[in-house]
Amino acid sequence: MREEEREGRKEGREREKGQRKREEGENEIEQAAARQRPAQQGPRDEGRPLPVSMINRARHVSVGHVRP
């Protein structure tokens, strides 16, 4: 009985290893594809409000540095 449980666990571990290796391979493919894509220009605005820290920081910037 215990040997059967051990075998089942061993097979499960081997399956997980194979799954992890597949995922790592997919990640490498995605990273290679990302390297070939042109870099995105500028930050993406997803409609989120600015954090308070950024608003407070902007108050201290002189007018000459503010972008239109």
Residue-wise pLDDT tens digits, 10-52: 777 777 877 777 777 777 878 777 777 666 666 666 677 777 8
The C-alpha atoms of residue 59 and residue 65 are separated, in whole angstroms, by 11
Structure confidence at residue 57 as a pLDDT band (50, 70, 90): confident
Residue 68 within a domain: no
More reliable by pLDDT, 59 or 43: 59
Residue 34 within a domain: yes
Structure confidence at residue 67 as a pLDDT band (50, 70, 90): low
The C-alpha atoms of residue 5 and residue 26 are separated, in whole angstroms, by 32
Residue 67 within a domain: no
Q: Quickly tell me which residue has 């390297």 as its tokens.
A: 35
Report the number of distinct structural domains present in the chain: 1
- Residue 41 pLDDT: 64
Domain that holds residue 14: 1-38
Residue 7 within a domain: yes
Global pTM exceeds 0.75: no
Contacts of 66 (CB under 8 A, 6+ apart): 58
